[in-house]
Structure 1
């Protein structure tokens, strides 16, 4: 209580004092550009995924614009130790993503390399995935896929090096006959999601759908 008084939670965009469980104030919330995609229908994120691998369904929560609040939210989650933003993003997703009783079997998030995980202190996708798992009652597995190589963030790479994802990931346990919802933070070139998706598809008779927090536009 004393800490809340001395160090109140503030909107990450305008610095207004807000409820401890919130990320942005009501005024700034209106500046977030949600995609309003239908998970089961053709949409831009599904079309992009289809260029790389056979995808069942796809959904992106927000637009990741060059300048804007959406980018600030994702960057705070990933680089400024604001892990709780993952839960808030999951809450926003749950309000907008309807599986219509056609649920995937398993939630799997893109892993960090152990070196990066140690440096950051958390995987920015874990709380997001676990919150959705609880809401939809779908199991998750953080240990199905491993990242084989340490590399700098996609956002910090030039275009040439963003394409270098060969053998970046591998499955570390058997998985077959599952419909897996693959979760990532930002869909940029599609190479990371594609690399993980093919590992899952090649592991057995599996299907892959995609959920990303944000789509680079």
Structure 2
């Protein structure tokens, strides 16, 4: 296309010209630090979650590094309207995550407050979740969890402020007897996931697992 000639897609790390559907070139791809976690085994996410709520299984695609490529990938997705980043990250996930015979019943991503959704124009987790749903044949529900309070991005808060957030989420409809996989972009303190998990656990006889794009550990 003509636009591709004048505005070619470039690697978000080194600026080499790459195919339109890609985020990084093959050389920079090798710099991404994937976790290689086993969904069913012990890992740092499971250890941290267990301190906050009863968790079944956990998985993180990448290690989040402040000055690394994983941060650039998440930043492109969240703040630069690169929706295709969600698709790419989902494809990398399905190449590495095997649920075996214990697939969760439902995929639920962390919601944005309606005001923030209007400001950003999209929820960066929706396409990621929908690609996973299609591949694994697991339904998703973007409406199950509501965010009750508008606040600035977690990345802009200090740790003390993040820990002070109370009951920011609620369940919008009945749910019971389900194994829910909660999906977020970056796992830091675990407080966001924990707040949602307790809402789901208290709503009925449910179980919760966790999947994140990157883990800050």
Partner of 2:134: 134
CA distance in 2, matches of 1:18, 1:66: 24
**In 2, Cα distance between equivalents of 1:94 and 1:144:** 24
TM-aligned CA deviation for residue 8 of structure 1: 1.0
- Computed over aligned residues only, the root mean square deviation of the Cα atoms, in angstroms, reads 0.6
**Counterpart-to-counterpart distance in 2, 1:9 and 1:123:** 23
Moved over 6 A (4+): none
Does the 8 A contact of 1:59 with 1:210 survive in 2?
A: yes
How many residues align? The count is: 217
C-alpha distance in 2, partners of 1:128/1:205?
27
What whole-Å deviation, never above 9, does each CA across 1:75-94 have from its counterpart, x for those lacking one?
A: 11101111110000000000
Say if 1:165 and 1:195, in contact at 8 Å, map to a contact too: no
Provide Cα deviations, 1:25-74, integer angstroms capped at 9, x if missing partner.
00000010000000001111111111100000000000111211100110
Aligned residue number for residue 112 of structure 2: 112
Map of 1:121 onto structure 2:
121
TM-score by length of 2: 0.99
Listed as ranges, the gaps of 5+ residues in structure 2 are none
Aligned residue in 2 for 1:87 = 87
Partner of 1:53, secondary structure, is coil
Give the alignment of 1:189-204 within 5 angstroms. 189-204=189-204
TM-score of the aligned structures, taking structure 1 as reference length: 0.99
3-state SS in 2 of match to 1:184: strand
Structure 2 Cα separation of the partners of residues 67 and 49 of structure 1: 25
